[in-house]
Structure 1
């Protein structure tokens, strides 16, 4: 197939019609920003949600878990649903579902009701991102896709950065309900603009009618296997640390169900004529490598987005708003670099940009291991900036490289799987990071406690200094000594937690550095022939 034919094929599938395709990119990015914002905005409000609804913190975490599970279940089948329902129609259904369920979440009177509406919200949100990426891939010719994904990437990567800030500010100054209400005007605006500006290409409608004319055969077994594999995996990763992993029958059961479902899913979908998930894409060199690298990007993006505010609020006593503000400079830096990355992706081979991005992130994570107990606000702000500098040079080249050589009819399935990669990677990154923190904090605490023996001169000196401090504040000597012992214990716990976070940043730096040469496995675009 010639380049001209390829471009013409993309234009015939364009959602822009006679309008400027950049206008379409802006329109779909509105809902993207709303969706990705919601993945991080609720994290800082869990304590308030638990208190308001008379629930424990462990129970309130299901507000996050159920959303992620619903998201994981619907994303991989979105490509198939798009081909059956129609891309524009399915996209608008997803936006409307997400918007309505956001309103219902804000009005929820109790935790079970909130969780039910979060599931509905996750189902609506899960189908939005694959549809949006499919629209962009078909609306822009290959040589302009990198710039289009740069604009889209601003919403995808900046939203988790400002999410904690917005969530913290709304929670501190209004109430947690507003973290859901904020989605409603964005959703209404998105629906109006999509209905007005986005078209359904004739070729997509013909393909849909041809599929339906042969009789709609739903791959129910494939859908159930996907739902069980990814849904149970999400529960396993999100709840494993809180339930002591395989020491819990609950977690072990979900792990076994997920593993068995994955083992059955691959041969089942491989042999279907009309699979609900095109597993074969994962076994192609180009798309398979893009899938793996996107998992790494998701792991770095989501884990650092959660860990830094978590560290600041638990160890440095930051408020939700202040911890969110420390993330803001990174978002600004990324906003400035996105257009540069989009331009570079058009002239430099994606694999080299991916290597550059991973190298920068590895160095940034290594820098963060210099964290000290007296770290300032500027340290956290600059650390986030250093991490975010590398991400635009990962997200855009990967998104561009994933579609190289794919026939147009595979775009919807590819978009779904790339989003699955980012979400799975994020869940794995967050889960492993929290596990390392919990286990290493205990280890460091046991080591530090070993230095508090009565025979330790350093301990005795510290005890005297702290006791004198409390005496100076008016406490009797005996009470001051007890206060000093308690303060030293709290300080040991704080330093142990800090060292555990440093361990996580160290492991992430090493893992990212190891992945750098794997980008060379991606083929240069000019060597990947377009399939007929």
Structure 2
């Protein structure tokens, strides 16, 4: 008999904020350390290149944990696995905050990413099982606030904590939250038995996924710094990724209990929802990386000020998610998705039309419009993914959806950073071609620079810097427009989804 036998049924609206908070805590740690790397480097006597492994180690192990979380939930029992993941994440956070040196910090960050990777998909699976299909909108709204708003809030919160206290507190802050979550989850979340039907663990399949996805994330995170396939290291990683993942795919169909069940992609809604979720991660994480970089490198913003510009967008999502949650099930989900893609596309195109003279309020409002569109995407996409799926697949489905969003983010950031550098180089060539002495506009501008600098050599250096900055700014604008086009091209795919069951607008009514 379950340890929870006889326990009074718990209102699912008590469970929803608990699992959402667990997901929020984990997603926040993906971005909260970004603005603190210089402080960590100075404190631990490390160089800038070395400290990037604080981010890479977390992302690599997180990428490994995400897709296998569904299988682990079934094997150990979902509630026990969920509590174990929170305990592991909390202890790793404590160790990170007390790390005596960079090497130990990197190791503890890897453990933190491995333990925390399960929190997103398991939280989503718990919500999917706690609410009937037509009532999941508001529940997924809470989860959506966690996984969509946290990346926007993370850099600002991390900068404030680092400036006011110490970089160690960006990790130690998880400890009291984790302890409270452990106590509440043990008290209120029903226990579930293990469901591995006695089949043997596919250790070889597990190793293939760990190696393949770990190397993929490593490649994405370091590719631009290593000049991609000009680097033997990146070539070797790419070969390992292809061999490991193809081997897993081929042999997985012969396994009775595969670590990642790829047969779920035969369900049309689930397959298309994964594509949309991948692109959502691509645009959300990609644009969240581009905007602060633009503001800090070309507009003179500090990391904290750049975070403040992004924060209103995070609050806009938090405001809109409950509204969208009430609409899901009452309005055709395909209409909501089309609206979200359209608004986000227009907002991204608007970002691509800005100039260097744009002020902080204009940037913040442009970001708000973009995130308002994103608010209409997460909940309908997540809810639509479960249409037609058997309930027994919820753990695996949630893990794969979370993985696709994070994979989209990793691919998006990697490709956009490469696109930015390559296009800036091309733009610089075009601009330099227009700096001919026979050009009246250029000659007039160069004379003004000479008057300002009082020296021909300095004037030439200033002109060269201006050309480089303008070339990079145009590349930023092209990047935003590229994201806008990519989102617009998704609209026809949305109408291939089967709509959700209708429930009418109103307060959610319990769970099954």
Return the TM-score normalized by structure 2: 0.93
Structure 2 residues not aligned, in runs of 5+: 503-512
Query: In 1, are the aligned partners of 2:41 and 2:48 still within 8 Å (CA)?
Result: yes
Q: Map 1:263-412 to 2 at 5 A.
A: 263-412=246-395
Of residues 164-173 and 236-245 in structure 1, the stretch that sits farther from structure 2 once superposed is 164-173
- CA shift for structure 1 position 350: 2.0
Counterpart in the other structure of 2:9: 18
Of the three residues 195, 213, 220, the one matched with 2:203 is: 220
1:523 matched to 2:508? The reply is no
Q: Is the 8 A contact 2:383 2:500 kept in 1?
A: no
Question: Cα deviations across residues 343-386 of structure 1 (Å, max 9, x unaligned)?
Answer: 11111222222122111111111111112111110121011101
Q: Deviations along 1:497-521, whole A, 9 cap, x unmatched?
A: 1111111111111111111110111
CA distance in 2, matches of 1:493, 1:96: 49
Q: Describe the shift of the 1:409–1:436 C-alpha distance in structure 2 as closer, same or farther (beyond 3 A).
A: same
Deviates more, 1:224-233 or 1:240-249: 224-233
1:165 corresponds to which of 156, 161, 164: 156
Equivalents in 2 of 1:76, 1:96: separation in Å? 20
Q: Return the alpha-carbon distance in structure 2 between the equivalents of residues 244 and 236 of structure 1.
A: 11
- Select which of 199, 219, 232 maps to 2:215: 232
User: How far apart in 1 are the matches of 2:165 and 2:116?
Assistant: 25
CA distance in 1, matches of 2:467, 2:121: 46
Q: How does 1:480-495 map to 2 (within 5 A)?
A: 480-495=455-470
1:424 correspondence with 2:399 = no
Aligned-partner Cα distance in 2 for 1:515–1:446: 33
Question: Are 2:55 and 1:69 aligned?
Answer: no
Residue pairs, 1:431-450, within 5 angstroms: 431-450=414-433
Name the structure 2 match of 1:458: 441
Compute the TM-score of the two structures, normalised by the length of structure 1.
Answer: 0.90
Work out the CA distance in 2 between the residues paired with 1:47 and 1:304: 23
The answer to whether the 8 Å contact 1:92/1:194 transfers is yes
Kindly provide the CA deviation profile for residues 469-514 of structure 1, in whole angstroms up to 9, marking residues without a partner as x.
34xxxxxx4xx43333222222222111111111111111111111
CA distance in 1, matches of 2:169, 2:442: 48
**Retained in 2: the 8 A contact 1:162–1:324?**
yes
Question: For the Cα contact (< 8 Å) 1:169–1:320, is it kept in 2?
Answer: no
Partner residue, 1:499? 474
Displacement of 1:146: 1.2
- CA separation in 1, counterparts of 2:303 and 2:431? 29
Q: Deviations over 1:173-211 (max 9, x none)?
A: 3332222122222212211211222121xxx32xx2x63
Which string of whole-angstrom CA distances, capped at 9 and with x for unpartnered residues, describes residues 205-261 of structure 1? 2xx2x636x3x5111111111112211111121111111111111001111111122
Give the unaligned 5+ runs of structure 1. Answer: 1-12, 471-476, 528-532
Equivalent positions of 1:198-217 (< 5 A) are: 198-200=189-191, 204-205=192-193, 208=194, 211=196, 214=198, 216-217=199-200
SS in 1 for 2:430: helix
Partner residue, 2:21: 30
Instruction: Tell me the equivalent position of 1:512.
Output: 487
Instruction: Identify which range, 395-404 or 260-269, moves more after superposition.
Output: 260-269
